């Protein structure tokens, strides 16, 4: 068992157990989604295996009124925000661009273009402040994203204008097949200093460390003390996506040290050592995860096909001109009925 504890930050036994429960459930969803992709039900899947502690710890540390601006790998965070995983899979099946209402869940759409969400998050945080709200924005990205111009511009802007934003880098050590050392000289966390705010590197496989760092950074931002950068060091245990074969560029021996630092197993061992988790509770959480996976599968298979005309025309104009409506009619006339 990894030596743990860290202060549990005043979390109750129930809350400590719930961190474990959430990690188990999102891991089960991740595995199920990969299975569904392999069965031809999804176009693509990007696993987050190994990154559960960062995703759960960070989401739980934010207030429910705060905003989360994700990249594409934060399915687990979205689940922690209460978004239905079966509905979300519609995105990976190619049925929709946006399966949830970002305002309702305070969780913005997944962003595939690397780092483009970072300036958006800063602008959003500035907007929250201009409206006089106490909301904070959690902006999430990978280590590869920190090489992008967008990332640096956003960091600079946030530092100059003291935007209420927490930057969370899930440093999973890979940008597809490019290892961290091949594109990042120096430390990601220390870059924050150059932009005039604090940066910290933490163990991203330790759910309590993540919770603690994100909660402190969010509190500072809420008090008007500006942005922070958190580099959560973790490891991408799976492939980049289901379209990738990591055995072409990564050795089994690279994975081995991280397998023994599995975020769920180490946390479970600590919970047991504190008498906060027993076999009965672990079994019932596993059963809950199984039920979630079954419901997710069922929901995905029942998702309706999108209407081609609606997906092309519905969101173009608020008040569509007559010529546009005519074009739609002509397009609809060309469609053959779906069996
Ligand atoms: C602007 C842009 N450039 C390139 C790509 C292709 N691409 C997709 S994911 C990825 C790597 C991103 O790595 P990282 O930021 O570390 O996130 P991770 O996938 O490890 O979570 C790249 C280069 C892209 N989606 N967007």
DSSP category for residue 101: -
Q: Would you say residue 106 has pLDDT above 90?
A: yes
Measured CA to CA, the distance from residue 234 to residue 255 in angstroms comes to 12
Contacts of 114 (CB under 8 A, 6+ apart): 71, 141, 142, 144, 145, 148
Residue 83, helix vs strand vs coil: coil
Q: Would you say residue 8 has pLDDT above 80?
A: no
Task: Output the pLDDT for position 339.
Answer: 67
Which overall architecture, per CATH, does domain 13-305 show?
3-Layer(aba) Sandwich (3.40)
Measured CA to CA, the distance from residue 47 to residue 332 in angstroms comes to 38
CB-ligand 1 contact for 234 (6 Å cutoff): no
Q: How far is the CA of 298 from the centre of ligand 1 (A)?
A: 31
Yes or no: say if 54 and 232 are a contact pair by the CB < 8 Å rule: yes
Sort 104 into a burial class: Cβ within 10 Å, 0-12 / 13-18 / 19+: exposed
Which is the catalytic residue, given 105, 249, 261, 328? 249
Q: How far is the CA of 175 from the centre of ligand 1 (A)?
A: 6
CB-ligand 1 contact for 145 (6 Å cutoff): yes
Q: Would you say residue 3 has pLDDT above 80?
A: no
Task: Output the pLDDT for position 99.
Answer: 92
The residues spanned by each domain of the chain are: 13-305, 307-339
Q: What is the mean pLDDT of residues 156-171?
A: 98
Helices (H), ranges, 162-244: 191-194, 207-222
Measured CA to CA, the distance from residue 40 to residue 34 in angstroms comes to 10
Nearest ligand 1 atom to alpha carbon 236: 20
Tens of pLDDT, residue by residue over 276-310, are 999 999 999 999 999 999 999 999 999 999 888 88
Q: Which two tokens stand for residue 328?
A: 């739609």
Give the global pTM. Answer: 0.95
Active site residue 236: yes
Measured CA to CA, the distance from residue 86 to residue 303 in angstroms comes to 9
């Amino acid at each position: 068992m990894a030596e743990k504890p860290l202060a549990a930050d005043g979390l109750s036994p129930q809350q400590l157990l719930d961190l474990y429960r959430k990690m188990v459930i999102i891991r089960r969803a991740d595995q199920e989604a990969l299975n569904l992709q392999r069965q031809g039900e999804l176009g693509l899947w990007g696993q987050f295996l190994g990154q559960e502690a960062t995703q759960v710890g960070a989401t739980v540390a934010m207030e429910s009124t705060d905003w989360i601006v994700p990249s594409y790998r934060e399915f687990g965070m979205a689940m922690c925000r209460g978004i239905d995983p079966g509905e979300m899979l519609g995105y990976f099946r190619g049925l929709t661009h946006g399966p949830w209402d970002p305002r309702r869940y305070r969780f913005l759409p997944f962003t595939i273009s690397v780092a483009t969400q970072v300036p958006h998050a800063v602008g959003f945080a500035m907007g929250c402040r201009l409206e006089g709200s106490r909301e904070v924005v959690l902006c999430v990205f990978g280590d590869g994203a920190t090489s992008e111009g967008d990332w640096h511009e956003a960091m600079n802007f946030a530092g100059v204008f003291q935007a209420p934003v927490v930057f969370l880098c899930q440093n999973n050590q890979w940008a597809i097949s490019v290892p961290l050392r091949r594109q990042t000289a120096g430390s990601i966390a220390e870059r924050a200093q150059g932009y005039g705010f604090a940066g910290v590197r933490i163990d991203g496989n330790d759910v309590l460390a993540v919770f603690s760092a994100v909660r402190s950074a969010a509190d500072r931002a809420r008090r008007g003390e500006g942005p922070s950068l958190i580099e959560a060091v973790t490891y991408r245990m799976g492939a980049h996506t289901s379209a990738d074969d990591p055995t072409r560029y990564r050795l089994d021996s690279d994975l081995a040290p991280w397998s023994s630092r599995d975020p769920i197993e180490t946390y479970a061992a600590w919970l047991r050592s504190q008498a906060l988790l027993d076999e009965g509770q672990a079994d019932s959480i596993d059963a809950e995860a199984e039920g979630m996976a079954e419901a997710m599968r069922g929901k995905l298979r029942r998702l309706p096909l999108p209407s081609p005309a609606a997906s092309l025309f519905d969101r173009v104009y608020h008040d569509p001109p007559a010529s546009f409506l005519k074009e739609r009619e002509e397009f609809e006339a060309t469609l053959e009925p779906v069996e």
